[in-house]
């Protein structure tokens, strides 16, 4: 399916979906965080979309908002799209997990939890993966400061 056809198909599913194709090659949809899990499930199960392959899950810090970017591909249809979700809450940031839909997300979400401090609800094991257990702060956030280990030019 082309990006336009995908957009026409997905748009009526939920309210408040924001589509954009600006400055990126993928069709990008920003979804409210309450709808993330429902949308993800539908994107995978719908026979016309069948996004069954989560090939990249990226944590993001946009300054005011934290969020996650999901890059999806369908191994049957070959089309691709991007789902974005954001949260304004920086102290107790939490999003729904998608690891029951795409199993690879389990490890990716643990990495994002370590480095961005986003907690994933319903995740089976939210323990630290990459950082030492007593690490202070979230290194990939933009406001993270480490005067000893970071080289800033």
Partner 1 sequence: MDYEAQIKKNQFRTEEYKINMGPQHPATHGVLRLNLTIDGEIIKRVEPDLGYIHRGIEKMCEYDSYPQIIHLTDRMDYLSSHNNNEAVALAIEKALEIEVSDRVKYIRTIVGELTRLASHQLWWGVMGMDLGALTSYFYGFRDREVINDIFEETCGARLTMNYSIPGGIRYDIHKNFVQRVKDFIVHFRSKLPEYDQLLTGNIIFEKRMKGVGILSKEDAISYGVSGPVARASGVKSDIRKIKPYSAFAVQDIDFKEPIYTEGDAYSRYKVRIDEMWESMRIIEQLVDNIPEGNIKEPTKAVIKLPKGEFYQRVETARGELGVYINSDGKKSPYRMKFRSPGFSNLSALEDMAVGSKLGDLVAMMATLDLVVPDIDR
Segment lying near partner 1 (by CB under 8 A), choices 2-10, 33-41, 55-63, 86-94: 55-63
Q: Specify the residue, 34 or 63, whose C-beta has the smaller distance to partner 1.
A: 63
Q: Quick check: 151 binds partner 1 (CB under 8 A)?
A: yes
Three-state SS for 17? coil
Distance CA 31, CA 38 (A): 10
**Can you point out the beta strands (E) in the chain?**
18-20, 27-31, 53-61, 66-73, 80-87, 94-96, 119-121
C-alpha distances in angstroms, 51 versus 13, 77, 126? 15, 9, 25
Segment lying near partner 1 (by CB under 8 A), choices 6-14, 33-41, 70-78, 88-96: 70-78
- Residue 49 CB burial class (10 angstroms; 0-12, 13-18, ≥19): buried
Contact between 135 and 127 under an 8 Å Cβ cutoff? The reply is: no
Q: Which of 1, 17, 126, 140 binds partner 1 (CB under 8 A)?
A: 140
Give me 153's structure tokens: 């030019």
Contacts with partner 1 by CB under 8 A: the residue count is 36
| CB 10 to partner 1: min, Å | 19
Q: Which of 6, 49, 95, 106 binds partner 1 (CB under 8 A)?
A: 106
Q: Quick check: 1 binds partner 1 (CB under 8 A)?
A: no
Q: Specify the residue, 34 or 55, whose C-beta has the smaller distance to partner 1.
A: 55
Three-state SS for 44? helix
Residues near partner 1 (CB under 8 A) are: 22-26, 28, 52-56, 58, 60-61, 69, 71, 75, 78, 102-104, 106-108, 111, 125, 129-132, 139-140, 150-153
């Amino acid at each position: 399916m082309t990006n336009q056809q995908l957009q026409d198909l997905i748009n009526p599913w939920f309210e408040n979906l924001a589509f954009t194709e600006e400055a990126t090659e993928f069709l990008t949809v920003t979804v409210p965080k309450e709808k993330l899990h429902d949308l993800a499930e539908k994107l995978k199960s719908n026979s016309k979309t069948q996004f069954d392959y989560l090939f990249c899950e990226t944590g993001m810090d946009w300054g005011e908002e934290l969020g996650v970017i999901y890059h999806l591909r369908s191994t049957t249809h070959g089309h691709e799209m991007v789902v974005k979700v954001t949260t304004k809450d920086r102290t107790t940031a939490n999003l729904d997990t998608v690891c029951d839909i795409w199993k690879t997300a389990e490890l990716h979400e643990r990495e994002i939890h370590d480095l961005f401090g986003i907690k994933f609800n319903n995740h089976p094991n939210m323990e630290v993966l990459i950082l030492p257990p007593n690490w202070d702060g979230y290194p990939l956030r933009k406001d993270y400061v480490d005067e000893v280990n970071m080289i800033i030019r």
